[in-house]
Structure 1
Amino acid sequence: MERFPWVEVFRGLAILEVVLHHVTGRFLRELAPESPAWFLLAAANRTLHFAVPAFLFMTALVLGAGLLREFRLGRYLKNRALRLFWPYLLWSGVYLAFRHWDHGVFQPERLVHQLLWGKAYFHLYFLAVALQLTLLLPLFLPFLRRRPHGAWFLLLGVGLTLLVYFLNRHYRFLPYPGSFVLWYTPAIVLGLYLASRLEHLPRLLRLWPLALLLAVLGLWGYLPLALDVLRRLPVNTFHYQAFHWLFTTAMAFLLLALAFALARTPLRGPLAFLGRYSLQIYLLHPMVLRLLEKYPGFPEPLGLKPAFAIYLGLALLLPLLLARLLARARVSVAVFGR
């Protein structure tokens, strides 16, 4: 997929969304609950809550297209082990040690549980889900090779999503639904559909006005419920999830359309640079935010707006600097798998 510049541009946009989401979440604690400023920042935070489905959408698209082009199981698993499984294990260990230093908490009896569900630190669940997706995708290969009509993809996405939701609602077999790959079925199936028709991607992306309409509809239903959740009010969980699936899947498509357009502009360079180091930023930025929060002598006295900008800048720049230094030292593969 290296010949498609929009892949890295998409990842650059997505990692900006991740960092913004986490920084807005950090500063919600600085505002008076339910004040106008709190509602504005909370709405921005919940609207920026589509990064994991977006990254899984792109992973399904890239890996699905690669599987259709050539599939050798041994090579596929070896590549995924280096690029995903090893960084997940290593950084789970790093964050377990960091959490022990930060909070004095270490529970060896929960280690297997934490690794299975991505709970060594709050953001690592994405890598656990991505690993599950890696194992799941080859099972879809016979389906993809037949290039079925889009209606079959729609039926698969909706049917499997509802099946998982209602099974979990009645049997509670998922302790953390967000750490289970099939919880993101709509975005994954959309990625597989586009992978099966990659040659028609420019034409398919012209449907972005429809995706925008669906995203607005999804946000209209999801955002009030999400704000109620932040305020610890009861909500209808099915309505919350249905609107969230609609919103996040449509946003993943819109992000791809935007990346495709920006890949032909001067912004391609800086966004692709961010995308190239998106995993490194993803892994490191929560530690930067926590260290800034733990030692609040700087930059909080400067005021909310300057502090917000400094948090955002450092959360991007410090991981980028470390990633570049490790790449120059030729140890990046050992630390980040790439």
Structure 2
Amino acid sequence: MTRKERIAELDLIRSFAFLAVVYQHVIGIYMRKPGIDEHTAIMYGMLFHFLKFAVPAFIFMTGLVLFYNYYDRISYPTFIRKRVVEILIPYTIWTAVYLALQPNPWGGKDPLWVMMKSFLTGTASYHLWFVVMIFQFYLLYPLWQSVFRALRKWASSKIRFTVAIGMMSLLYGGFMWFSSRYIPAHAFRFDVTLLDTYWIKYRDRNAFYYFFYFLMGGLAAVTLATFRQTIQRRWLWICTSFVLLYVYIGYELFRDSGHGMINLNVATSLKPSMFLYTVAQLLLVYGAALWLGKWKGSKWFALLGKYSYGAYLMHALVLTYVMKGLNALQVFHNSLAGSLVAFVLCSILSFAISYGLGKLPFGAWIVGAAEKKRKVSSGQTKDLPYAG
């Protein structure tokens, strides 16, 4: 059997996306602080948009690695058992940790019900929704595998390939319009509770609302060499598209926030303009990873990428104590410098703790199997739990 190339740039992209997630959450805290001035709020809004590639990037990488490793065949029981161990067990442990740290986690309700609901919806902490969403791609991978293979078989010519990409883009754009425009404007709801919960109430963690980035990763997987070359050849076009779309979504942020304030909820990924912007940014980030991969210092980013799952799970808790420390010291307050300090401290501490726990005998149950995966052959590309 021919050994597949290890896709080294993915570790860099994982680290970029993890750092982007941390700073988004830092911005969220600083934006809620009283007394923030308008200019600082605008700067935070612009930075928040710049960092919005994080979640789509993880979904893109999930699709890339799954289709790269399991395009032809898959032993589903073995496949899903591995993901339960490497993703759900650490997620369950950290869900329990976050619930235990809440002042009144049960709220007078049945503890078992609260724990089950928190586990299924990712509501024990504000960042755990992502694990619920991303695991659906693993759970339904045979379905996506069949859809992707059928599309690839049909798109046998350049014309058909272009039509397939166009149709998938229109379908996904329609999803984004439905989520961001139709549902709020018409207060749309399903009569069936289960449908309403999955497709409306918790649509931000419904994997079908992110399917384009997953299939985009699959396209990169089956055309890897061409995909890399296209990004490098079309670098100027990608940068131009990114800048133009960045300006436009910035205009939307000011237009839709209202009353001269910046409302970060306007910067949702689930709207058509953010879809186009995100695709351009994903290509830009991938190109940056290819370029930075030639730099010797990139090994530190790669190491961070390997431990990003554990760091992600714990970073909200770490950020809480970082902010308590900074507030107690009464330094930085609402300044941009303060957010950068909080970001750096949270990122370093989250990585250090994840790395340390990964060294323990049962560390993989807490932070994922990063340590084990470091020892695999360099000819393999592993599907790391947080973004693999």
Q: What does residue 320 of structure 2 align with? A: 290
Question: Over residues 147-190 of structure 1, what are the superposed CA-to-partner deviations in whole Å (9 max), with x where a residue is unaligned?
Answer: 33253144124314515753872435320221111221332221
Displacement of 1:224 after TM fit?
A: 3.2
| Partner of residue 298, structure 2 | 268
| Distance apart, 1:8 and its partner CA | 0.4
Determine if contact 1:219/1:247 at 8 Å carries over to the other structure: yes
Is 1:134–2:165 an aligned residue pair? no
Residue 236 of structure 2 corresponds to which residue in structure 1? Answer: 209
Aligned partners of 1:269, 1:232: CA distance in 2, in Å?
A: 37
2:204 to 153, 175, 178: 178
Distance (Å, rounded) in 1 between the aligned partners of 2:269 and 2:61: 26
Return the alpha-carbon distance in structure 2 between the equivalents of residues 239 and 136 of structure 1: 22
Residue 4 of structure 1 is aligned with which of 3, 7, 30? 7
Deviating more after overlay: 79-88 vs 212-221 = 212-221
Q: 1:254 to 1:32 in 2, by over 3 A?
A: same
Q: Indicate the residue corresponding to 2:378 in structure 1.
A: none
CA distance in 1: counterparts of 2:23 and 2:62, whole angstroms:
21
Q: Are the counterparts in 2 of residues 95 and 120 from structure 1 also a CA contact under 8 Å?
A: yes
Question: Does the Cα contact within 8 Å between 2:173 and 2:271 map onto a contact in 1?
Answer: no
Please, which runs of 5 or more residues in structure 1 have no aligned partner?
Answer: none
CA distance, structure 2, for counterparts of residue 120 and residue 113 of structure 1: 9
Deviation of the 1:26 alpha carbon: 2.0
- The aligned residue for residue 377 of structure 2 is none
Q: Tell me, yes or no, if structure 1 residue 49 matches structure 2 residue 52.
A: yes
Give the match's secondary structure for 1:221.
helix
Q: Please state how far the C-alpha of 1:30 moved relative to its aligned partner.
A: 3.9
Give the root-mean-square deviation of aligned CA atoms.
Answer: 3.0
The answer for the alignment partner of 2:385 in structure 1 is none
Q: In structure 2, give the amino acid aligned to 1:106.
A: W
TM-score of the pair, normalised by structure 2: 0.76
1:310 paired residue number = 341
Q: How much identity, in percent, do the aligned residues show?
A: 23
* CA distance in 1 between partners of 2:343 and 2:266 (Å): 34
State which drifts further: 7-16 or 82-91: 82-91
Q: CA deviation at 1:110?
A: 4.2
Is the Cα–Cα contact under 8 Å of residues 307 and 367 in structure 2 kept in the other structure?
A: no
| d(CA) in 2 for partners of 1:249, 1:223 | 16
TM-score (norm 1): 0.87
Deviations along 1:35-60, one digit per CA (max 9) or x if unpaired, are 21221122212332221111111111
| Map 1:115-154 → 2, pairs under 5 A | 115-145=119-149, 147=152, 148=155, 149-154=161-166
Partner residue in 1 for 2:95: 92
Alpha-carbon distance change, 49 to 199 in structure 1, aligned in 2, over 3 angstroms: closer
Please say if residues 238 and 284 of structure 2, whose CA atoms lie closer than 8 Å, have aligned partners that are also in contact.
yes
Structure with greater helix percent: 1
Q: Which amino acid aligns with 1:171?
A: R
Q: By how many angstroms is 1:256 displaced?
A: 1.3
Q: Aligned to 2:272, which of 230, 238, 242?
A: 242
Deviates more, 1:211-220 or 1:282-291: 211-220
Deviates more, 1:119-128 or 1:305-314: 305-314
Match among 39, 64, 70 for residue 61 of structure 1: 64
Distance 2:345 2:90 in 1: 22
Cα distance per residue 1:216-239 (max 9 Å; x no partner): 343233223335448477x99999
Task: Identify the range of structure 1 (14-23 vs 134-143) with the bigger mean alpha-carbon deviation.
Answer: 134-143
Q: Go from structure 1 to structure 2 and tell me whether the alpha carbon gap of 1:208 and 1:190 turns closer, same or farther (over 3 Å shift).
A: farther
Q: CA deviation at 1:211?
A: 3.2
What secondary structure does 1:171 align onto? coil
Question: What is the identity, as a one-letter code, of the residue corresponding to 1:198?
Answer: L
Residues 1:71 and 2:102 are matched in the alignment = no
